Chain A
Amino acid sequence: MNTKAEKFVKLNQDNNLNWFQGREFEDELHTAVFEGALEIGESRLPVFVVLDDSLFSLIRVVISAGPVAKANRDAVEAELGRLNAAFKSFKYYVSDEADNEGVILDLSVPTTGEDFNAEVIMYLITQIALPHLEETLANTLSIINKKEKSTKAPRKTTKSKK
Chain B
Amino acid sequence: MNQKAELFEKFLVEEEITCFEKREITDEDHTMVYRSYLQTPVGDMPIFVLLDDTIYNTVRVVVGQGVVNGDNYQSLLEFMNAQNNTYKNFKYYIEDADATIYLDCINQSTVTNFDPRLIYVLMTQIVEYMPGAVEGLVTAAKISTLPDPHESH
Q: Give the interface SS of chain A, mostly helix, strand, loop or mixed.
A: mixed
Give the CA-CA distance A94 to B80 in the complex, in Å. Answer: 10
- Chain B residues closer than 8 Å to A84, beta-carbon distance: 80, 84, 91-93
A88 touches B113 (CB 8 A): no
How many A residues touch B, CB cutoff 8 Å?
30
Instruction: Among A81, A109, A120, point to the contact of B80 (Cβ < 8 A).
Output: A81
The complex places the Cα of A162 from the Cα of B14 at a distance, in Å, of 97
Residues from 75 to 101 in A contacting B, C-beta threshold 8 Å: 77-78, 80-81, 84-85, 88-89, 91-97
Q: Number of residues in B with C-beta < 8 Å to the partner?
A: 31
Number of A-B contacts (CB under 8 A): 77
Q: What is the CB-to-nearest-CB distance from A2 to chain B, in angstroms, rounded to a whole number? A: 17
B33 contacts A by Cβ under 8 Å: no
Q: Is the interface of B mostly helix, strand, loop or mixed?
A: mixed
| B77 interface residue per 8 A CB criterion | yes
Selecting from A19-27, A33-41, A111-119, A144-152, the interface stretch reads A111-119
Q: Using CB atoms and an 8 Å cutoff, list the residues of chain B in contact with chain A.
A: 55-56, 58, 74, 77-78, 80-81, 84-85, 88-96, 104-110, 113, 115, 118, 121-122
Residues of chain A touching chain B, judged by Cβ–Cβ distance below 8 Å, are: 55-56, 58, 74, 77-78, 80-81, 84-85, 88-89, 91-97, 104, 106, 108-112, 115, 117, 120, 124
